[in-house]
Amino acid sequence: MMGNSKTPHKLSKRGKVKDIYEYDEDHLMFEFSDRVSAFDFILPSIIPRKGEILCKFAQFWFQTLAYPNHFVKLIDNNKMVVKKLEMIKMECVVRGYNYGSLYDRVNKGKVNLGTEIELAGELKEPFFDPTTKSDIKDRAISRTEATSNGIVSSSEFDDLKETSIGLYKEMRQIAFNAGFIIADVKFEFGKDKEGNILLADSVGPDEFRLWLRSLYKQGKKQDSYDKQIIRDWLIEKKYRDSIEITIKKGIPPQIPSLPQTLINETQKRYTIAYEAITGKTFENVG
């Protein structure tokens, strides 16, 4: 029999923004926290009710996207029960616009898009840009490296690429109809006991970059409705370099608390995005 939210559960893993508990023999429980991370570092501030928004946003995508997934049910505002899976150790990133780390790598000659595309310009076709799955620092991984290291087989890599691009296109259309642009997204997948590949982990503003259609203009930095505004603040205040340097040295960076105005604005944007895309009022969703 499946457990319940009142039963004490054993902590399996404490992640950057969510904690994973053993729920029963076949299930895990995700507890989405109000923590916020950027550049692979957990910041000292929290965003109130962020965990609840992320949890319900994930529920929406799992119940909406046309692909099998590990979602079972919600048992609290910020807790989700999912099927246990053997997770595939590759993050499937799909990019529809030349932005973020892709833009940096294009400028450095590390990625060739085949044609010159300016900052925030839309790509002719979505770009599959997988990374390693690491608790420290993810990095881009090629098809050859992923298959030779035994992360996935050649056919699995090709299937994950096709699936990820298809899911991105489906999400992009839903967001577009709600007045937003999903610029890129990160998917994770796992295998069940029968070997079937399921969409897993979470899908929400911590996994995609979201822009307002009405404000979009290529060639400039975009106003994001995700945690990019926190990344931008860290970059502006010169904290990004400090984070990356100290993490490499294995010592915690000294980052101050986020300004209250930034915390409020981040919470506001997550809420606006959730309500617009799902069609649900956040305060009234149980």
CATH number for the domain spanning 125: value is 3.30.470.20
In a domain, 259, yes or no: no
Q: Is the pLDDT of residue 159 over 60?
A: yes
Place of tokens 């898009």: 113
pLDDT digits (tens, 9 = 90+) for 214-239: 999 999 999 999 988 999 999 999 88
Q: Is the pLDDT of residue 285 over 70?
A: no
Q: Are residues 118 and 139 in the same domain?
A: yes
Q: DSSP letter string over 117-155?
A: --TTPEEEEEEE--EE--SS---B--HHHHHHTTSS-HH
Q: Are residues 75 and 203 in the same domain?
A: no
Q: Are residues 62 and 164 in the same domain?
A: no
Q: How confident is the model at residue 47 (pLDDT cuts 50, 70, 90)?
A: very high
Region of poorest pLDDT, from 72-86, 118-132, 142-156, 241-255:
241-255
212 Cβ partners below 8 Å, 6+ apart? 179, 180, 181, 223, 225
Q: Are residues 209 and 125 in the same domain?
A: yes
Q: Are residues 102 and 232 in the same domain?
A: yes
- pLDDT reported for residue 2: 52
Say which amino acid occupies 112.
N
Which has the higher per-residue pLDDT, 102 or 40? Answer: 102
If 0-12 CB within 10 Å is exposed, 13-18 middle and 19+ buried, where does residue 184 land?
buried
Final residue in a domain of this structure, among 83, 99, 127: 83
Of the chain, the end-to-end C-alpha distance in Å amounts to 24
- Using CA atoms, how far apart are residues 138 and 115, in angstroms rounded to an integer? 26
Final residue in a domain of this structure, among 21, 53, 83: 83
pLDDT digits (tens, 9 = 90+) for 121-136: 999 999 999 998 865 5
Q: What are phi and psi of 85, to 5 degrees?
A: -135, 160
Domain that holds residue 67: 10-83
- pTM, to two decimals: 0.90
Neighbouring C-beta atoms of residue 93, cutoff 10 Å: 23
The whole-number average pLDDT for the span 186-211 is 96
pLDDT digits (tens, 9 = 90+) for 60-91: 999 999 999 999 999 989 999 999 999 999 99
